Amino acid sequence: MIKQRPLDKDKVILKIEANIKWWQKLIQSPPPEIKQLMDGFHALKEALTTDPQSLAAGLTSKRTQLDSKVAAIKKAQDTVSAACASMTEITACFEEQLESRELQMQQRLTLIQELKSQLQQLRSQLELAEEAHTQESGSRDQAARCLKQHEQRLKEANDLQSQLERASKQGQDQARSLAQAIGRFTDQDSSGLTAHAQSLLQFFLACSSDP
């Protein structure tokens, strides 16, 4: 076995620094492999120059911070998951409402089309009714004129009938008076006078009965 010798950190650190300076002077833009080697030297130098207890405490603190961040991230993830689930439910509710609104809109569009068709039919019926009303108004005016003419003629006929009735009554009264007068002369006059009077009576009766 190789006997373990104590490590002189100061010498190791000096050698690491010398190697880093040499590589930096030798290669201005080192390839990835050399850069990784130089990064390893830097890490080794940092590890050797740092107090182990301070390093452990720092690592513990960083671990605690990382655990806190992980816990916070997990909590945030749970919150986001719950929010996503809630948003999914809300989205499903909105989609259901949207489908219902679209169905209602379609039904209303159908109803609007039906109402437009009924309105067109009512307009056609209204036009026909207005035409019929116009014709009826013309017929009514014509009938009113005919009725007025008929009433005028009826009035004239009634007036003429009244005149004829008065004339007939007057003629009958005159004939009755004449008949009475002839009756008074019947016993006192000759048959010739009576016949002449009766002829006159027939003449007056004929005149009174003629319209």
Backbone angles phi, psi at 23, to 5 degrees: -65, -40
Question: Of 73, 92, 124, which residue sits at a domain end?
Answer: 73
Is 19 buried (19+), middle (13-18) or exposed (0-12) by CB count in 10 A? middle
Look at residue 201 and tell me if it is in a domain: yes
Look at residue 97 and tell me if it is in a domain: no
Question: Of 73, 93, 122, which residue sits at a domain end?
Answer: 73
Tokens (6 digits) for 148: 């007025």
Domain span including residue 65: 9-73
CA distances from 23 to 13, 32, 39, 197 (A): 15, 13, 11, 185
Asked whether 194 and 179 are in contact (CB, 8 A), the reply is no
Tokens (6 digits) for 88: 């999914």
Distance from first CA to last CA of the chain, Å, rounded?
178
pTM: 0.33
Whole-number Å distance between alpha carbons of 194 and 187:
9
Q: How many domains does the chain have?
A: 2
Question: Of 73, 101, 126, which residue sits at a domain end?
Answer: 73
Asked whether 179 and 200 are in contact (CB, 8 A), the reply is no
Look at residue 62 and tell me if it is in a domain: yes
- Amino acid occupying residue 146: C
Look at residue 60 and tell me if it is in a domain: yes
- From first to last of its 211 residues, the chain has per-residue pLDDT tens of 334 555 566 677 677 777 777 777 777 776 777 777 777 767 776 766 666 666 677 778 878 888 888 888 888 888 888 888 888 888 888 888 888 888 999 998 999 999 989 999 999 888 888 888 888 878 788 888 888 887 888 888 888 888 888 877 787 777 777 667 666 655 555 555 556 666 666 666 666 555 5
